[in-house]
Amino acid sequence: MPLETASIISDLVTSNPASSDPLNNADDHLRLIKSVVKNTFPNITGQVTATHLDLNAAAALLAGTRAAVFPGAGVGIVTSPGLTPNGDSDTGLYSPGANQLAVAVGGVRALQINSDKSITFDGALTTSSLVAPGIIPVGGMIMWLMDTLPTDGSWCWANGGTLSRTTPGAGLELFQKWGTYYGAGDGSTTFNVVNMQEVVPVGRSGMGGASSPGLLSSISAGVKTIIGSLFGADQSTLVTANLPPYTPAGSIANGAITIGGAGNLREKAGDNNNNGGGGGAFSAMSGTAPTLTASQGSSSFTGTAQGGSSTPFNNLPPSRVVNFIVRMA
């Protein structure tokens, strides 16, 4: 029979060549097979080391259908919902339900990614196992400049509200970190988160074992001034305008002024002509010395106003109101 024609593997006829074909056509058949293989895999320029299971799994993932379920000790990819790991050596990706993707390690689900982007952890793997620069740990708090919680991750408002002590992803992980430090909730099933409403965070005295008190009580006045210019000041001086308005005033009550009093006057003795002098002796006069008394009438006085006007004194640094949120799972 004449030599068949083919371009790719699917064109080959498995019943050819017929046993009746002459032997001198064998080289033509071999050249045809080599040509078909090269035409079918035109971009294969090196050794292919993937197994048929690997190729099947990759094809199934692209097509959205089920591949082999965790083949042996290798890595399998399963995309059809409702599947579970099949043994101690099953390791790979699978879909336990619609819009869910899970990872199995040694036949046990390690984590599951849900359609709402939350992550469920099983076994010893927890959120604390995920550490890297830029990841906020459970219990960490950040400023948040929106009025809705982020949808990527598990977050709660730092508003003193209550969370579950027992439900994963709804407070359990945060409760394991905090306990009832910020409030016991209902005392059994819930607990409270920190309340950052209308307050300013201040560094805890002695945090991390540092000596207390903090810097402002021990550094120089010059350094304090520099720090104050950055975020406020630890001391302020009142000026006249900050004082309440005040004018001093008063009055003097009625009274008496007395000048003089009882005395002992003497007269110097003189000659018969009443001329004093000349070594005569003083002699006492009888009677009481005169007294002068004057009355002081009622009077008043008024001072000068000191200029106070009760102007409010600003003791707050420039501030901006923001939200605070806490990572809870």
3-class SS at 58? helix
pLDDT band per the 50, 70, 90 thresholds, residue 274: low
Q: How much is the pLDDT for 171?
A: 92
Measured distance CA(70)–CA(106) in Å, rounded: 10
**Burial code of 158-185, b = ≥16 C-beta within 10 A, e = fewer?**
beeebbbbeebbbbebbbeebeeeeeeb
Taking only the tens place, the pLDDT of each residue in 156-184 is 999 999 999 999 888 999 999 999 999 99
Measured distance CA(98)–CA(294) in Å, rounded: 112
How does strand 75-77 pair with strand 91-94?
Answer: parallel
Share of the chain above pLDDT 90, in %: 19
**pLDDT beyond 80 at 42:** yes
Taking only the tens place, the pLDDT of each residue in 133-159 is 567 888 999 999 999 998 877 899 999
**pLDDT beyond 60 at 100:** yes
Q: What is the pTM of this model?
A: 0.41
Taking only the tens place, the pLDDT of each residue in 183-214 is 999 999 999 999 999 888 877 766 677 665 55
Q: How much is the pLDDT for 85?
A: 63
Q: Where are the domains of the chain?
A: 1-48, 52-125, 132-202+320-329
Greater confidence, 73 or 256?
256
Measured distance CA(128)–CA(143) in Å, rounded: 22
Q: Where are the beta strands (DSSP E) in the chain?
A: 75-77, 91-94, 101-105, 108-113, 119-121, 141-144, 155-157, 162-164, 190-192, 249-252, 255-259, 266-268, 282-284, 292-296, 299-302, 323-327
Q: How much is the pLDDT for 317?
A: 64
Instruction: Indicate the helix (H) or strand (E) that contains 176.
Output: helix 172-178
